[in-house]
Structure 1
Amino acid sequence: MNKCKRAMLASAFAIWLSDAQAMEQYEPQLPGATEGTAAGLMPPPGLYGSVQVYTMAYTLHNNAGQATRDYANNKVISPTLLWNSGKKIFGADYGVQIIQPFQHTNISGSNSGTTIPSNAQWGTFNTVLVPVILGWHLSNDFHIKTAVAVNLNNASSSLAKPPAVPSAGAGNGFSSIIPNFGVSWLGSNWNLSANLFYSFNQPNSATQYISGQLFQADYTIAKTLDRWTIGLGAFQANQITSDSGSGSTQTPYNCVANNGCKERRFGLGPMLSYSFDGGMTAQLIYNRDIVTVNAMGGPFFNFSLSTPLNF
């Protein structure tokens, strides 16, 4: 494909994404990805691995919360490594984490007035490094955890760096710094948890666009009965500051006229997990957006496996 045609198609995807899409592209933290976990609990010292398979069938919603005719049927596979060092800092367990999501994008629709060509493909999302995790075990079955994550600007493709087959790209063309706070009460075989994130998104120098600061939270209410755990999970995303930069004021974004392109989402759904001998846990979550403004939203399934890695 010649560069001119590729640039034209990349522009079409930019128009599609920006038609009432908050942020410049994707949320830095996958909504609902930590539902079902004990958000405030640091596991015992050692190395842990997990993999998530997150499948979504989303529709773009505009500034009035109305569904458009543009769609995303994406899949995200996220391998994760977590290490509890066994060291103590300020009385807390110290750990680190790395996550490398892989995303399969498949965009369709014509709401923007441009027919979107076939574009299904895989790519790598921004690497997530968490160099500091501190977890405290408190009295009365309470646990709290704080962390700071950094999303690197290293996605294999983005709006500013379109792939060979033009699409929305596999990740964001900017980095993010994400403080995190989790709290859990784990008494009487219950898991009552909240996991809170606040994303400071850095400028995308290629597009002159700065995505606004974003608050996200995942919530869990679950009860363990022998090996089974059943419960309810929920997520929210509320953009606190408007998108800015010269790129955000231009057509087709027009964020000044669209409430700063501020995203607002809330969804919830059931969860079920099973614990095997040896510590492996399998979990399945279904969520559906109830409120979606300036964002993609709809149903998603999230299947995960997690296990201690005892070498």
Structure 2
Amino acid sequence: MSPVAVVDSELGYLTPEQVAKFYKDGYLILPSFLSPTEVSSLISRTQYLLDSFDLSSHPLTKFTTGEQEDESKHVGDDYFLNSGDKVRFFMEEDAVGTDGKLNRPKYRAVNKIGHGLHELDPVFREVTLHNPKLKAVARDLKFHKDPAILQSMVICKQPEIGGKVPEHNDSTFLYTDPPTAVGYWFALEPCTPTNGALSFLPGSHKTTKIGKRFVRLSGGGTGFEKVGEEEDSGAGAGVGEGKWVMECCDAGTLVLIHGSVLHKSERNTSQATRYAYTFHMIDSEPYAKYDEKNWLQPTKELPFSKLFAQ
């Protein structure tokens, strides 16, 4: 059943069947959530940002989630750690040569743009904070009582070098007590088996414990820390159980991602980009405590925006 048209944020968007599927599988695919006009606007804005940022003052910070056997590879410098309230550009690993210079045009070198797009860029702010359909979805899910938005980014997944993202769950990186992270992931271009479509382990949110969290280290940089007495087993208990499902989708699709569900994407081996816009919601205090060790922290100048306060 298709979602009903929404003209007011108090109206519903999701059907009861869709809500049930989200809680059963840990994710939900919503085709055509963004209109072609909205998609075109976000693509155009992304291209403008890629073309216009100043490379001369850029530290050429590379971004990698790191393979599980080498988690220390995750970027942890100041450019990354202080990007929560800024619009910054992170390079694909293979776009920076051994000489420390880009080996391709800058618009084909950026891995992602983040992490304050939803606050600072007018085009992304409009589709995020002033979108009645988005508010209706959040109400329908009933996952959060007072949702706050953070960590917005465009992920470019560049042709031939767009890096593999190993299996993980989002609450590891945006830890709250209790865990409340939900990802909102918008395909801005077709997502295919060759350009890095998302894959999920359906139902893994029910068995996967948040056994570690990604934190700022006291000595600088970032790393992983155990959560409680849970066994640290990669992304969490339940890794590798069940059957992975690749979810190819068209531009305009919204994918809702439970903070505990395991998901991943493969390297982009195609000649096409795979632009996606994504951000996360967490519950605000007193319903959940945002951990002070998380890599991303709100600032006095730019606290986390409350979705229903906009």
Bucket of the pairwise TM-score, normalised by the shorter protein: under 0.3
Higher strand share: 1
Higher helix share: 2
TM-score by length of 2: 0.27
Q: Max radius of gyration: which structure?
A: 1
TM-score by length of 1: 0.27
